[in-house]
Amino acid sequence: IDLHGLQVQAAIDLLKQLLALHEKNNPAGHGNGKPRTLKIITGIGRHSANGKARLRPAVKQFLAGRGYHVTEVNPGLLQVTLK
């Protein structure tokens, strides 16, 4: 999912909707046993005030606060292991 260019709150709201949809359609204990992942493009903050990223840290904090495992693939791309 490409969140790059969105305001922080809009990006978090979209992510909440996507995760809720995933959880509804993929209840725990179902599936083939392989963990599913989601790649999230956040960008690196070049267009943020003072060039300091706001979106990536907010997305990482949001996901970590909900118990998701987040890996930084590169400075503008996160990978999340879905529940």
Q: How many CA atoms lie within 13 A of 15 on its CB side?
A: 29
CB 77 within 8 A of CB 31: no
Element (H, E) at 68: none
pLDDT-derived band at 69 (thresholds 50, 70, 90) equals: very high
CB 26 within 8 A of CB 82: yes
pLDDT-derived band at 71 (thresholds 50, 70, 90) equals: very high
Query: What does the block give as tokens for 71?
Result: 């890996």
* Total-model pTM: 0.84
